[in-house]
Structure 1
Amino acid sequence: MTATPALADDLQRQVDAIVQPLMQAQRIPGMAVAVYANGQAHYFSYGVADKADNRPVTRDTLFEVGSVSKTYTATLVALASAQGKLDLDAPASRYQPALEKSALGSASILELGAYSADCLPLQFPDEVSNDKQALVFLQQWQQKTERGTRRCYSNPSLGLFGNLAAQAQKRPFAELMRQDLLPGLGLKHTYLQVPAAERSHYAQGYDANERPIRVSPGPFADEAYGIKTSATDMLAYLRAQLDPQGLSADMAKAIAITHGGYFQVGDMTQGLGWERYPYPVALDTLVKGNGVQMIREAQATKRLQPAQPAGPAYWYNKTGATTGFGAYVVFVPSKGMAIALLANRNYPNDERVRAAHAILSAVTP
């Protein structure tokens, strides 16, 4: 559904007034904004996907979404759980024999997915350049904290989480994503590797020095930050979070699993991939919850037992970035609203949060 012309024009003015100054202040070449509210989908496109040829951004432009990819990985893992192919409470060593007798081998799948198995680093060290070396690094890891007491946001932790789901099913992770998860969600323009036929839609990212850049291969890249998608597909993905009707029963169950609350970290409750806050939520709480400290520093955490179920009255969100792209996505089931901000430049999380909050405040019923 799309809005009536009058409503669409009014929302266009409101979004323009928020996004255009943001782009100018942060030197963002191009942005795609998708909003779902009052049962209607809205798309807003700004600037260029590539400065070299002035190719404009459209709702079909493909953006790297960085760590928003973790929510897709979490759904893939949760789907394996819903299908009885993986036990989230099982130790990692059950599915990855290389971790047997290692410190991380006794950590549960769930703890790894919630960054609470141990204080693993944000990134792998530079000398770890592929998945095989990543597994050796994790095999040799020495425990630093008591399991379940500290949340340390970590690509290695989430990467292993996704890898274990692939090991449990004896299929490559990328194959599971491409053949099972993305089609199961009805996503036709979401990729780990952008195919040749879609390269003309792939935005060019830009780093802090205005140099063109796209994401490079790295250890567990597919699991942790590999998704490229469009505003159209991203909004379809967010609408599936709001209402999984039309998806398989297993996929609907998987989505509910990712929405659950497993660890309490201050005002934020850690789900699988998603982070959630009771709604309504103050802007300052969201800014803090998505801030640099939450990403780069260890946070005291407490496991919720039993886990909190998925619920409608929450603000669910996730930020993501690569060197040349920045993304932020939100959905609030009780309000039936969602938003995606996709940009071909990495810019501060607090600016993304403020922009999304302002836009959703304008459309909140």
Structure 2
Amino acid sequence: MNRNVRNLLISALFMTSGTSMAATDLRKVVDDQVTPLMQQHGIAGLSVAVVNNGKVQYFNYGVANESNQQPVTQDTLFEIGSVSKTFTATLGGYAQASGKLKLSDTASQHLAALKGSAFDRINLLQLATYTPGGLPLQFPDAADSAGTMLNYFQHWKPVYAPGTQRLYSNPSIGLFGYLTAQSLGQPFNVAMERTLLPKLGLKSTYVNVPADQQNRYAQGYDKDQNPVRVGPGALDSEAYGIKTSTQDLARYVMVNLHPETLEKPLQQAIATTHTGYYTVNGMTQGLGWEYYPYPITLQALTDGNSTPMALEPHKVSWLTPAQKQPANVLYNKTGSTRGFGAYVAYVPSKDRGVVILANMNYPNAERVKIAHAILNALEK
């Protein structure tokens, strides 16, 4: 057996409600999914949070760092990759609720350097929903820095008519986050760490992990077991830069399930992120979040989080008007960096959600499978 699994650590905190399934039964469901997965992929550490009717159960496995064998806990900080996009989207929704921008604004309205470019005809909603006309998944190497990205945007030409094709893109939603911060009159990292995260009640979520919290920051590992962490890049904070714990992400899920607990502008912000703007192959694109009718089959959820959905263009069908949060849907988002893998899913009508964080980038299909099994078990 892989030594990470042989030394498996399960430090589960149970706060169960009378209506939830027995804690021991849920532990078995999670164990049965996680243990073989960690063995198969050589995952050093993994943490799961299960939110159910306002209560949270944590299941922690393995180590945050191979070198010192520090066990994973619900306080361990993981890179969450593109789950960060949901925070960027929420900040954009907050800026709109605060009267600083409108999603219908053109990009160049919020940055003079973009005037005279293609972004005179591309709006913020298109940037936030990956439909500006074919911005790529990643910046080209020559443009992947704070000093070169604006020149790239100034000279970029759409491949498709804006608003017609979805092509998942870090530069697209990254620019949305950058322009959101411009509208708020603050650098993005400041707006995120000093405004949004405190208002959400998140105390262990960072763009830049402080020096006094570095001991909680898990070491990531690539597929060859080499230690890696995320490096700097153009709009990295906006697109994939958040580091957080399962405990804080469980809190984040709960405020998405119950935004009425927040101040009015944030209630409006979350409603904006939960709104459906267009559909693609059974998936409805929100702002940051993506959603599906619930209940959902494992195959449908896996297809929605597949490589073709991330790498290929898809014609979109806009919803007119945009669709407010439907009655029975599952919201989700995957996220990866070279050394970490994350997945968050929640069902507002059931008051349930799942957070899965690991210090290895393993296949999305495996993450979806764990969450789907947990949510199904909670139905019994």
Residue pair 1:91, 1:109 contacting (<8 A) in 2 also: yes
**Aligned-partner residue type, residue 315 of structure 1:** L
The CA distance in 2 between the partners of 1:75 and 1:38, in whole Å, is: 23
Do the aligned partners of residues 147 and 213 (structure 1) sit closer, same or farther apart at CA in structure 2, a change above 3 Å counting?
A: same
SS in 2 for 1:41: strand
The CA distance in 1 between the partners of 2:377 and 2:196, in whole Å, is: 33
Work out whether 1:305 is the aligned partner of 2:295: no
The CA distance in 1 between the partners of 2:230 and 2:313, in whole Å, is: 26
Partner of 2:272: 257
**Aligned-partner residue type, residue 232 of structure 1:** Q
Residue pair 1:18, 1:359 contacting (<8 A) in 2 also: no
Residue pair 1:104, 1:143 contacting (<8 A) in 2 also: no
After alignment, is 124-133 or 151-160 more displaced?
124-133
> How far does residue 104 in structure 1 lie from its aligned partner after superposition?
2.4
Residue pair 2:49, 2:57 contacting (<8 A) in 1 also: yes
Residue pair 2:202, 2:248 contacting (<8 A) in 1 also: yes
Partner of 1:18: 33
Do the aligned partners of residues 10 and 305 (structure 1) sit closer, same or farther apart at CA in structure 2, a change above 3 Å counting?
A: same
What are the within-5 Å matches in structure 2 for residues 309-328 of structure 1?
A: 309-328=324-343
Partner of 2:10: none
> How far does residue 26 in structure 1 lie from its aligned partner after superposition?
1.6
- CA shift digits 1:293-314 (9 cap, x unpaired): 0001111112212100123411
> How far does residue 116 in structure 1 lie from its aligned partner after superposition?
0.5
**Aligned-partner residue type, residue 286 of structure 1:** L
The CA distance in 2 between the partners of 1:204 and 1:363, in whole Å, is: 32
SS in 2 for 1:163: helix
Work out whether 1:117 is the aligned partner of 2:139: no
The CA distance in 1 between the partners of 2:152 and 2:140, in whole Å, is: 9
What are the within-5 Å matches in structure 2 for residues 161-240 of structure 1?
A: 161-240=176-255
Work out whether 1:141 is the aligned partner of 2:156: yes
Partner of 1:48: 63
Identity of aligned residues (%): 50
The CA distance in 1 between the partners of 2:319 and 2:368, in whole Å, is: 26
Gaps of 5+ in 2: 1-13
Partner of 2:119: 104
The CA distance in 2 between the partners of 1:117 and 1:292, in whole Å, is: 20
Candidates 243, 258, 271, aligned match of 1:243:
258
SS in 2 for 1:73: helix
Partner of 1:357: 372
- CA shift digits 1:279-322 (9 cap, x unpaired): 11111111111000000111111221210012341110000000
After alignment, is 67-76 or 275-284 more displaced?
275-284
> How far does residue 4 in structure 1 lie from its aligned partner after superposition?
6.7
Partner of 1:280: 295
**Aligned-partner residue type, residue 83 of structure 2:** V
SS in 1 for 2:260: coil
> How far does residue 336 in structure 1 lie from its aligned partner after superposition?
0.6
Do the aligned partners of residues 24 and 146 (structure 1) sit closer, same or farther apart at CA in structure 2, a change above 3 Å counting?
A: same
Work out whether 1:130 is the aligned partner of 2:145: yes
The CA distance in 1 between the partners of 2:199 and 2:104, in whole Å, is: 25
The CA distance in 1 between the partners of 2:178 and 2:55, in whole Å, is: 37
SS in 2 for 1:127: helix
Residue pair 2:29, 2:373 contacting (<8 A) in 1 also: no
Work out whether 1:65 is the aligned partner of 2:80: yes
> How far does residue 38 in structure 1 lie from its aligned partner after superposition?
3.6
Work out whether 1:156 is the aligned partner of 2:152: no
- CA shift digits 1:172-200 (9 cap, x unpaired): 01100011100010000000000011101
**Aligned-partner residue type, residue 15 of structure 2:** T
SS in 1 for 2:261: coil
Residue pair 1:335, 1:364 contacting (<8 A) in 2 also: no
Residue pair 2:17, 2:53 contacting (<8 A) in 1 also: no
Residue pair 2:132, 2:158 contacting (<8 A) in 1 also: no
* Runs of 4+ deviating beyond 3 Å: none
The CA distance in 2 between the partners of 1:201 and 1:318, in whole Å, is: 24
Partner of 1:344: 359
**Aligned-partner residue type, residue 370 of structure 2:** A
**Aligned-partner residue type, residue 120 of structure 1:** L
After alignment, is 14-23 or 66-75 more displaced?
14-23
Candidates 277, 302, 307, aligned match of 1:292:
307
- CA shift digits 1:56-93 (9 cap, x unpaired): 00010000000000000000000000111111101111
Partner of 2:15: 2
The CA distance in 2 between the partners of 1:322 and 1:178, in whole Å, is: 20
| Aligned residue pairs, count | 365
Length-normalised TM-score, structure 2: 0.94
SS in 2 for 1:190: coil
Work out whether 1:84 is the aligned partner of 2:99: yes
